Structure 1
Amino acid sequence: MTTDNSSLQLEKIVPQADDFLPLLGTDYVELYVGNAKQAAHYYQSAWGFQPLAYAGLETGLDDRVSYVLVQDKIRLVLTSPLKKGGDINRHIEAHGDGVKVVALWVDDATKSYKETTSRGAESYMEPKTVKDSNGEVVLSGIHTYGETVHIFVERKNYNGVFLPGYQAWNPEYKPESVGLKFIDHMVGNVGWNEMNKWCEFYAKVMGFAQLISFDDEDISTEYTALMSKVMSNGNGRIKFPINEPADGRKRSQIEEYIDFYNGAGVQHIALATDNIIETVTALKERGVEFLYVPESYYDTVLDRVGKIDEDLAPLKELGILIDRDDEGYLLQLFTKPVLDRPTMFFEIIQRKGAQSFGKGNFKALFEAIEREQEMRGTL
């Protein structure tokens, strides 16, 4: 896991970002789950993640177990408690399975901590150095919306499999990858009238800039609506859309999420692929369920988005959505919730130049979500 530090000077593509906090990318995403062993099997079998590292009783931990999975630049950490009581159990009881940590790869975790806490961030973890025979890692952390936290990971002096305290996890069972490349963006749901507060947090505390804003005119159907703003760091590697509910005739997906998650949290993780047709085909064959898009969507979609490289037939068969902006177009598809509670889901996205987030698809997407809400009795 060594990295050539000469490659860390990343181009600034969002000029309005202050960027006093250089972020090199998403280091990992950690979910607190009820059964990490079984969750790991799901992400291997259904999503093509590869086993990377493990920590638990065999590595000297007696209160928790963690499985680390990887696919290209995406790392998932699945953590479960081994004893009653404690923060992990409390988190799972309150929220169900869900994202606890969005870890950010940095060149200097101590500086990242000082920059953010001096601007008002609440401390989660003061800078600490953890070591083993493979070197050392510096970690620090701050709180963000809900019970979600950001951990800053400085790993330039480490060449182990993941982090100190983890050992290589190398089981025989290794289903093939489905072609996922990296995390494109991660979306947070926050409560009524909290979107601007958290957008200001990312601007003031982390030097992000607002890329796009959507109001309830942009994101609404006959029944429900929401508001959203997209915050990005300077090099564009970290993009955090923030959603809040808006007034509608019925309960929106954001309200449903907050009710079942018991507060703000990560709503979905968008995973990038270079071939969405192949990726979604593989995911469906492995049992991943996606939202249904009516065939009528495809009657006029090319009139709206213009010429695309792909044949429309396989996109229609798989239910993949298409949208265009001034830079190009994108292809995207959303899973149904992947947990028992109707909370977290995934987006699969392939960008063909487009830098936007599929505004032209919002109505079709939200109507698809409402159909699922109606079946759950939560609309």
Structure 2
Amino acid sequence: MASETNPLGLLGIEFTEFASPDTDFMHQVFIDFGFSMLKKAKANDIVYYKQNDINFLLNKSKQGFSADFAKSHGPAICSMGWRVEDAEFAFNEAVARGAKPADDAAKDMAYPAIYGIGDSLIYFIDVFGEAQNIYKNDFEDLAEPMIVEEKGFMEVDHLTNNVYKGTMEKWANFYKDIFAFTEVRYFDISGAQTALVSYALRSPDGSFCIPINEGKGNNNNQIDEYLGEYNGPGVQHLAFRSRDIVGSLDAMEGTAIKTLDIIPEYYDTIFDKLPQVTEDRDRIKHHQILVDGDDEGYLLQIFTKNLFGPIFIEIIQRKNNLGFGEGNFKALFESIERDQMKRGVL
């Protein structure tokens, strides 16, 4: 039920919608990640992909909101569907709390929606679960579905927003004031040449987080590079929660998905700091997985290089740890800077 601590009755993420001038490439990346292509929307050219509790929509429509969004941003996450108890109630309550209704948008789906980060859409979905869901109601089976072996990705752990300098607090307040997200972390991160600051917010139902990044210092940092290429603020990356990150990466070997390079010296001391890690250490080194934790637990994480324009994917496995890999920020930041140098950005 909606409550003071969860005023819209938010219950998690239902789908992420992608649009791109090159949808064939996105399709192949989804397949490489282990998503099966199952259905197509009855009303327009939207294809549905699934892996466990992660639902992707690839919008191939040539007209409408998503097509226009891709023209402005290139490959993009143009909308998300968030689960709520009552879609109309959540929409009305969001608008009453200051959200901008998306009634004027040429929406590709007939669900109530508001404008979110970078004028992407947040749809409110109150039909979800195995018994009844939007994919049964509004989609039809493909004549030739593509069923692939899943890669162990269970759900979206978090999604990170990149915003212009001076607007991080504005966007944090958007999520706090409308949805009642709570702040769980604040980061001030520096590499050799660039820096950023970040708020991490948790949804009121506790099912996912949204870190918000703002660049700091010179304009060649990774956040400003994203904003320039993407033509505005938006979703920088999605994080997939894996039940077995080593197994997931083993299954992805041979695909076109490339991950960031980590300096070998990182592994000289990491297992001394975290001796409780039970996963195969040679495989961790082989895949260049980052490890972080404390006395109570640890996490393993890895980041792809940019996949869709400036958007990338994080893979994370949590073992009694709800952090974001704070102990890895320096190594990760320097890895991103090295990648920027290779691409001529720094």
Query: Scaled by the length of structure 1, what TM-score is found?
Result: 0.84
CA distance in 2, matches of 1:97, 1:350: 27
Residue identity matched to 2:34: G
Aligned with residue 21 of structure 1, among 2, 5, 8: 8
Q: Return closer, same or farther for 1:77/1:138 CA change in 2, 3 Å cut-off.
A: closer
- The match for 2:54 among 47, 51, 74 is 74
Asked if the contact 2:10–2:179 (Cα under 8 Å) also holds between the matched residues in 1, the reply is: no
1:47 aligns with 2:33: yes
Task: Say whether residues 1:221 and 2:191 are aligned partners.
Answer: yes
Q: Is 1:91 aligned with 2:69? A: yes
Which residue of 143, 152, 155 maps to 1:179?
152
Any idea what the Cα deviations from partners look like across 1:52-79, whole Å, max 9, x if unmatched? 2202xxx454xxx111100000000011
2:214 aligned residue: 244
With over 3 angstroms needed to count, the CA separation of the structure-2 counterparts of 1:254 and 1:60, relative to structure 1, is closer
1:305-344 correspondence to structure 2 within 5 Å: 305-325=274-294, 327-339=296-308, 341=309, 343-344=310-311
**Equivalent residues of 2:291, 2:300 under 8 A apart:** yes
Amino acid at match of 2:122: H
After superposing the two structures, state which structure 1 stretch, 350-359 or 155-164, moved more. Answer: 155-164
**Aligned to 1:117, what secondary structure does the other structure show?**
helix
Q: State the AA in 1 paired with 2:253.
A: K
Distance 1:202 1:326, change over 3 A: farther
What do you get for the CA RMSD once the two structures are aligned?
2.4
Match of 1:167 in 2: 140
Q: Write the distance in 2 (CA, Å) between the matches of 1:265 and 1:47.
A: 22
- Does structure 1 conserve the Cα–Cα contact (< 8 Å) formed by 2:12 and 2:205? no
Work out whether 1:114 is the aligned partner of 2:89.
no
Structure 1 residues 54 and 309: alpha-carbon distance in aligned structure 2, compared to 1, 3 A threshold: same
Which residue is 1:351 aligned to?
318
Shift of 1:203: 0.8
Identity level (%): 32
Offset at residue 212 of structure 1 (A): 0.7
Say if 1:170 and 1:228 are closer, same or farther in 2 by CA, change over 3 A: farther
* AA partner of residue 48 (structure 2): V
Matches within 5 A, 1:122-133: 122-125=100-103
How far apart in 1 are the matches of 2:128 and 2:158? 24
AA partner of residue 38 (structure 2) = L
**Structure 2 residue runs without a partner (length 5+):** none
C-alpha change, 1:154 and 1:173, in structure 2 (3 Å) is: closer
Secondary structure (helix, strand or coil) at the match of 2:118 reads coil
Cα 1:21–1:316 change in 2 (3 A) is same
C-alpha distance in 1 between matches for 2:69 and 2:134: 27
Measure the CA separation in 2 of the matches of 1:322 and 1:287: 24
Of 306-315 and 222-231, deviating more is 306-315
2:123 aligned partner? 151
In structure 2, what is the Cα distance between the partners aligned to 1:156 and 1:191? 34
Query: Partners of 1:172 and 1:29 in 2: how far apart?
Result: 20
Instruction: State the partner residue of 2:161.
Output: 188
Query: Which residue identity does 2:242 align to in structure 1?
Result: T
- The count of corresponding residues between Structure 1 and Structure 2 is 342
Matches of 1:41 and 1:257, distance apart in 2: 23
SS of structure 2 residue aligned to 1:331: strand
TM-score (norm 2): 0.92
What is the SS of the residue equivalent to 1:81? coil
Matched, 1:103 2:81: yes
Amino acid at match of 2:239: A
Counterpart CA distance in 2 for 1:173 and 1:296 is: 41
User: Displacement, 1:288?
Assistant: 1.2
| Letter of the 1:313 counterpart | D
1:139 corresponds to 2:139: no
> For 1:100 and 1:171, how far apart are their aligned partners in 2?
26
Answering whether residue 175 of structure 2 is matched by residue 202 of structure 1, we say yes
Evaluate the alpha carbon distance shift between residue 150 and residue 303 of structure 1 in structure 2; reply closer, same or farther with a 3 A threshold. Answer: same
Structure 1 residue 361 and structure 2 residue 328: aligned? yes
Q: Kindly report structure 1 stretches of 4+ aligned residues shifted beyond 4 Å.
A: none
Per-residue CA deviation, residues 125-174 of structure 1 (Å, 9 max, x unaligned), is 49xxx9xxxxxx98211112212221110116973661644212252542
**Unpaired segments of 5 or more residues in structure 1?**
1-8, 131-136
Q: Which residue of 2 aligns with 1:374?
A: 341
